[in-house]
Structure 1
Amino acid sequence: MSIELSIVMPCLNEAETLKTCIKKANDFLQTNDIQGEVIIGDNGSTDGSQAIAMANGAKVIDVPERGYGSALKGGIKAAKGTYIIMGDADDSYDFTTLMPYLIKLREGYDLVMGNRFKGGIKKGAMPFLHKYLGNPVLSFLGRLFFKSNIGDFHCGLRGFSKEAFIAMDLQTTGMEFASEMIVKASLKNMTIAEVPTILSPDGRTRPPHLNTWSDGWRHLRFLLLYSPSWLFMIPGVSLMIVGSVLSTLLIIGPLDLGGITLGVHTLLYSCAAFLIGFQLLLFYGLTKIYTVENELLPKSKKYDSLFDILTLEKGLIVGFILILVALGATIYAYLNWKSVNFGDITGYGTLRVVVPAVTIMLLGVQTILFSFFFSILGLKK
């Protein structure tokens, strides 16, 4: 008979708890009359975990490449089940209570996530920083960046169909594998469900493999890199709006704010803010092209139209017009300087022309360079 469910566990020196986890998984399959298998993705254990797994009826897959994600991918790729449920081999999850996951998978959901905050976190099961800072903050950012309703981004117990796993095309090898799965599923508009899950203290006497700060940073870094809108576009547009409004006011004249006078020196910083914002916006465009063309992010409906709107020719025309405007302003400033016989400029009127002129010239040059690079990245089109 065909295998319906594969239960996959990553393993690196889990001799203390591995037998218990495998027994619970097998009991679940037998009790519920499910055609299934238990697979251990071993990441180079040296404590005899492989022998324990085989002695208890599990299939052991040797995964030389180190990392939580690598171990899981190795086990999942070898799985023969229509559905797969993955979970840690430290006895923190009860493998006898997987039926809610399987029911959702049978209903057609692509990904079924556990939610420990709804199911319950037993005393001592999760460190204070993870429970009240790390998991809530990273889960919030994940929901914000990717419009996902998942309440617990990092629950280690989750299920998915083999077909959905292949479509996700997961690439990461470390702990961020957990975030990548939800991000890819969200970006590809897969159907996702949540079920309450209880987290218990793990049964090992040694410390866990998870490193609070380095693994937390890896998760955050991944979320940012896969969301160019939040990494580049939104900060860029914000800086451009603030910089342009403030620069316009300061070009007209000094700005008095409750006894504080903002003048030409502040104009330098406001123009710099506008330029930085413009650069962030350009990076957003280039990153978007690169990630889509290299199949790191899915193609949006409006993606192809970008190449009709942002052409090399249009970019060159706009860039050269900006440079000509800057040169005109520079000539005007030069004539003002000439009117005082090229001496010291005592007033700030000339600087209110020079600073915007330099800013516009840089915008023109950046537009031209962006247009060339944009066209190079989009050569496939």
Structure 2
Amino acid sequence: MPTLNEEEGIAECIDRIKNALVDIGVYGEIIVSDDSTDRTPEIAREMGAIVVNPDGKGYGYAYQYAFEHARGEFIAIGDADCTYDFEELPKLYDLVANGDADMAMGSRLEGKILPGSMPKLHQYVGNPLLTKFLNVFYGAGVSDAHSGMRVFTQDALATMDCETTGMEFASEMIMEAGARGLTIEEVPITYHARAGEAKLDSFRDGWRHVKFMLENAPGYLFSVPGFVLGTFGLLLMGLAFFHVSLGGFTPGAHSMMAGSLLTLVGYQIASMGVFATITTNPIRKPEDRVTTWITNNLRLEQGATLGTIIFGAGAAYGAVLFGQWASSGFSQLPLLMADVVALTAVVLGIQIVFGSFFLSAIAE
């Protein structure tokens, strides 16, 4: 248990943990990772807990520090504010001990949330939304991704290899477990009102979770939006250039310019997915075929050649248009849509060439 001034709840939590250990029928140790200025550590020691004092700050760091001192084959974690009833631990332990799960979690959203224990914003917006993100991005398949009551094996802990030190540690565990193919199971639990003062900052800590999830899923953050925008842009340009009507609507010059913008922006965003994959080693790497092929196979020479061809085609087309303009005594301008096609190809070719050099530089 990580503790920061939890003297109002620590004793009850330890009592309930002891009852759970008797119910399970195993020997265990209670480790309190403490950074308090009140009587929390004294109370914990008096009740037989092992108290360790992390040499760094943060919710995640407190857990990481405690894990280094844990000797058991199985590890259970939870908050020391009485929100979790540790007498429900046997339900989670059985799933892991029987080999049905690498990590078992207590689901508050599938269980019972007592009045006053969770703000409505968290219950109906924050937790469900963050859980949805984790399930879509990392295939976690859970109902309550930010439940703090969990049981897992030492082997699972080593496999997850978590590194974060802040509140996003709770998300990282699920992200790593999902990305590495570990089995996660849930059981409904009852969530109680906390004892003592709340430490959570809803918006700041919620944003840290979202930011961490997105940064470690460049496929969803960059690649997918980039390909969608780029494909739609090229389609729009094609419809406008060939005057194809859709439901009575015929795209014109303005549609052509919008398509050009979407094409260039789409390429730029999608390329960031490739750069992020190579430089950051994200938890969930992009799985689309294009990004995967580029990161595994594309070389400087291939990218530079492709960019040069696209640039050359655009420049050549532009030269033809300029020649037509010049032959008219500079009195008859070429069609605007043709100009946009040529300019788009020139800019896209330049981006690909220099992007290939940048990709080569960061991949070294």
Query: Where on the TM-score scale, by shorter chain, does this alignment land: which range?
Result: over 0.9
Q: Distance in 2 between matches of 1:307 and 1:220?
A: 25
Residue in structure 2 matched with residue 273 of structure 1 by the alignment: 262
For residues 354 and 90 of structure 2, the distance between their equivalents in structure 1, rounded to whole angstroms, comes to: 56
The corresponding residue for 1:6 is: none
State the distance in 1 between where 2:120 and 2:295 align: 49
Aligned residues: 362
**1:366 and 2:354 equivalent?**
no
Tell me how far apart the structure 2 counterparts of residues 46 and 128 of structure 1 sit (CA, whole Å).
31
Structure 1 window deviating more from structure 2 (332-341 vs 138-147): it is 332-341
Q: Which residue number corresponds to residue 78 of structure 2?
A: 87
Percent identity between matched residues is 35
Distance 1:145 1:249, change over 3 A: same
2:48 to 42, 57, 72: 57
TM-score (normalised: structure 1): 0.89
Q: Which amino acid aligns with 1:211?
A: D
Residues of 2 paired with 1:49 and 1:26: CA distance? 17
CA contact (8 A) 1:254 1:263 kept: no
1:59-111 deviation digits (Å, cap 9, x = unpaired):
11111322211111111221111111100000011112211111111123221
1:208-262 CA-to-partner distances (Å, cap 9, x unmatched) read 111111111111111111111111111111111211111112123496876x775
State the match for 1:5 in structure 2: none
Q: CA deviation at 1:30?
A: 3.2
Partner residue, 2:223: 233
Question: Is 1:158–2:150 an aligned residue pair?
Answer: yes
| Cα contact 1:254–1:264 (8 A) shared by 2 | no
**For the residues of structure 1 that align with 2:70 and 2:317, how far apart are their CA atoms?**
68
Structure 2, unaligned stretches of length 5 or more? none
The 1:308/1:194 distance shift into structure 2, 3 A limit, reads closer
Q: Using the alignment, how far apart are the partners of 2:288 and 2:270 within structure 1? A: 20
Distance in 2, matches of 1:312 and 1:72, equals 44
Equivalent in 16, 20, 31 of residue 28 of structure 1: 20
The aligned runs of 1:24-173 (5 Å cut-off) are 24-42=16-34, 44-108=35-99, 109-173=101-165
CA distance in 2, matches of 1:182, 1:321: 45
Gap change, CA 1:235 and 1:301, over 3 Å in 2: closer
Deviation of 1:306 (Å): 4.9
- Where 2:170 maps in the other structure, the secondary structure is helix
Most deviating of 358-367 and 184-193: 358-367
Alignment-mate amino acid for residue 289 of structure 1: I
Q: CA deviation at 1:338?
A: 1.0
Give me the whole-angstrom Cα distance separating, in 2, the residues matched to 1:283 and 1:36. Answer: 48
Which of the residues 335, 342, 352 maps onto 1:350?
Answer: 335
Corresponding residue for residue 202 of structure 2: 212
Structure 2 length-normalised TM: 0.93
Q: In structure 1, what is the Cα distance between the partners aligned to 2:185 and 2:108?
A: 14
Q: Which runs of 5+ in 1 are unaligned?
A: 1-8
